[in-house]
Amino acid sequence: MNSADKKYLQLIGTKIRIIREECGLSQFQLATECDLSKNQIGRIERAEISTSILTLKRIADVLEVKVVDLITEASV
């Protein structure tokens, strides 16, 4: 993975963490609502893995935002 890709994944992970915390959810709570593991949520937030668009949609749905809000730079 090149540095631009890594930076983009960090942007997405940071947005997910910020919105999750604003919603008052722990990683475990978000994971449970998304039918994912807490470990997977943590790895997404830390930009350790690239996740699928469908997983991002599940996360966005639980956080009550649009996927575009998670993947665009302007809303950070």
- pTM for this entry: 0.92
List all residues 6 or more positions away from 73 whose beta carbon is below 8 Å from its beta carbon. 11
User: Does 47 reside within a domain?
Assistant: yes
Read off the pLDDT band of 66 (50, 70, 90).
very high
What average pLDDT does range 28-49 have in this prediction?
Answer: 98
pLDDT at 75 over 80: no
User: Does 38 reside within a domain?
Assistant: yes
User: Does 18 reside within a domain?
Assistant: yes
Read off the pLDDT band of 29 (50, 70, 90).
very high
Per the structure, how many domains does the chain have?
1
User: Does 17 reside within a domain?
Assistant: yes
CATH of the domain at 60: 1.10.260.40
User: Does 52 reside within a domain?
Assistant: yes
What average pLDDT does range 44-71 have in this prediction?
Answer: 97
* Contact status, residue 12 vs residue 44, Cβ threshold 8 Å: yes
User: Does 59 reside within a domain?
Assistant: yes
Question: How far are the Cα atoms of 3, 28, 54, 74 from residue 42, in angstroms, in the given order?
Answer: 20, 9, 17, 23
pLDDT at 73: 78
Whole domain around residue 61: which residue ranges?
3-68
